Structure 1
């Protein structure tokens, strides 16, 4: 943005030069922050309830986590096609309301003593499915709200809020499950989604949805266009591969980790929540550094070094024993370092992806990378549960943590390593076929 107080974008709309002067950006940031807080709390509440109250084994915990992650594989591509066609504000509002209702139903079932594993599986799937749509929508929403030269700072602010949610969410979820009950913990997550609903729905700026005047092809054709665009770009292909390796291994690590802390190290639920929340302060620092380091050292070097730092931290976990203060301090340090490195990677990769992608392809590009990168997480969770059951928690943690180190190897061997201080320019998207069909205001055809 220029230094003047206001600037005019390519679409002709006037945009405040400072992100925090923009009321709509503040509303997006607030809604995304509390939504992420609710999501991170629920990601701890449901597994801890299964482990501590239902005495779930490694295989059952793996299934629970896989069910919650399955929507990434099943729905990401549809979410991208949907978001590119509809207003992101509407999508975020509806998904917030749906998640609040799902967790509210879990809380109600818990009060009547009906919150068993089948109910947890249903709630985990519903929350996971709606989160897929929300996450794609808020990423695409930023591109429609701010100018391209504000993307890094905008992403830094949004990812910083996600980091804050990583601090409060797990600690809140673990504490509520440990000290109170699963219904109270579920109700707290539902409340945060309700607050996000109230904030996002107040966004006033009219979105300029790409291609609004055109008749759009069927959803399958749009999904294919997104896949072809990502597959045809060397940078985005590399992001997909590195993300897939990391997410599969990380899902396996976390399945064993959530069992390792309470059963091998004999830590209470509150400490488990704090250990998971330790990634939050590191991620918050990573978000702040991500606004500066790529411009100083280059995006490629920052990506590779941050991935080595964050992924390598988990190699220290299998060496821990007992529940002493030293062990707890080590867990907090490991979480902090992993959050720092991981967030540097997240913000930098998101900025690269948004920079090389045309506006009309933002939702589908984000969804395609999510589909390819995170689509293997259900299998990773199942693999983590299987390995923990067969080899023991300590050995499975060591093997799966070593698998995470393949991600920085992929980055260092790809064009990502050569990215400099400046973000690349947008690449051409494949032409969108035009077919006779309903107007933009009609429901999508599947």
Structure 2
């Protein structure tokens, strides 16, 4: 008679996991800070118009559409840690140029758009590699522990990154504040480079045809599996609308509500504690209520609270508190959705094709974000910030409606077995 399965050893006892955790955490900190600082450079330092801010965000997101599939094929053939190091070295160099150009009086919107594109391209490779690295580094029975730890640190970065970015913008101007991201990416490189465990990755035959075949394998698995296909479509609906919302939101806070850079950072940072709470809930709720019920309910609540933002007025403490409460709740429920989706994706996808599936879902789910950002900038100029923010917040409801009608809503307390993605 066999007893219960032994509890897997803690991932924190693994030095290489700790180095990965430190590297990904500091990199996420730099990413979150840059997401606040780059638009504020355009708005505050360069007096950009609504269409220009929309263009800046669209260009930064365009590499998701252009490069995700190639990144997935590349990561499945290389050490994920090598890809992460090279991506962060690149982001360090590119962002370090911004304050130099500013001090020389040479920084303008076209150059900032170029920086945004390069940072976006390198971020695509880092993100795909980082989502693949854990599966290669720890045992399968440690995935839940590792995912929870990395998601918790990502939540912490969502707290600290915007707050640090917004505060530095107020203290030293936005172009100089970007050095916080430069420092974070540098620390990430120093930590990830120290991971010693080799990744025994198969090296397929060289050649462009092989690359396209690998891309096709990732696409085929996502299209053929009902749950993965639904994840991609629901993500696409959400990310398109959310890109439009955030483009308008980053203009709405300083220009309509007249919030300072520090206040903007504080408001955005409120998502972090919410995301941390969401990470804790996501480890318990699906096992109690079922993955489908949790996904749909959390998506409805996350998107619903954003409808409160267009009704707010002024820059009083009450308004700032209300914005923080909205962002906190959005952080809670959106994080439940994110962690639950990641858990479903990891369980369904065979390890050898994880990179390509992650890249395919990024391509499908986030490929429309540049168009969403452009739409947000256009609506802001045509309809005004408050009206356009309300319309795009309503559009967020498309994602939970689709989830409720898809196979995701029927997922129970037990996850599906891995799909056959390599046949």
Cα distance in 2 for partners of 1:289, 1:334 equals: 18
For 1:439, the equivalent position in structure 2 comes to none
Kindly indicate whether the alpha-carbon contact (under 8 Å) linking 1:79 and 1:133 is maintained by their aligned counterparts in 2. yes
Q: Superposition pairs for residues 233-252 of structure 1, below 5 Å?
A: 233-252=225-244
Residue 190 (structure 2) aligned to one of 161, 176, 198: 198
Q: Give the TM-score normalised by structure 2.
A: 0.96
User: What is the TM-score of this pair, normalised by structure 1?
Assistant: 0.91
Which structure 1 residue ranges, 4+ long, deviate > 2 Å from structure 2?
A: 1-5, 147-153, 211-217
Q: 1:106 aligns with which of 86, 93, 98?
A: 98
- Which one has the bigger helix percentage? 2
- The equivalent of 2:351 in structure 1 is 359
The structure 2 residue matched to 1:342, chosen from 325, 329, 334, is 334
Instruction: Give the alignment of 1:268-417 within 5 angstroms.
Output: 268-417=260-409
Question: What residue in structure 2 maps to residue 220 of structure 1?
Answer: 212
User: 2:162 aligned with 1:170, yes or no?
Assistant: yes
Q: What's the offset of the Cα at 1:215?
A: 7.1
Q: Report the 3-state secondary structure (helix = DSSP H, G, I; strand = E; otherwise coil) of the residue aligned with 1:218.
A: helix
Q: 1:176 to 1:4 in 2, by over 3 A?
A: closer
For the pair 1:267 / 2:270, whether they are aligned, the reply is: no
When structure 1 is superposed on structure 2, of 399-408 and 182-191 the one drifting more is 182-191
What is the distance in 2 between the residues matched to 1:410 and 1:156?
27
Deviation string, structure 1 residues 220-252 (Cα, Å, up to 9, x no partner):
111111111110110011001100000000000
Tell me whether 1:418 sits opposite 2:410 in the alignment.
yes
Where in structure 2 are there 5+ consecutive unaligned residues?
Answer: none
Displacement of 1:177 in angstroms is 1.3
- Say yes or no: does 1:189 pair with 2:192: no
Give the length in aligned residue pairs. Answer: 419
Instruction: Tell me the residue number matched to 1:159.
Output: 151
* Aligned equivalents of 1:272, 1:182: Cα separation in 2: 13
Show CA shifts across 1:410-441 (max 9, x none). Answer: 1111111111222221111143xxxxxxxxxx
Gaps (5+ residues) in structure 1? 6-16, 432-446
How far is the alpha carbon of 1:360 from its aligned partner? 1.2
Residues 152 and 347 in structure 1, CA contact (< 8 A), matched pair in contact too: no
RMSD (CA atoms): 1.5
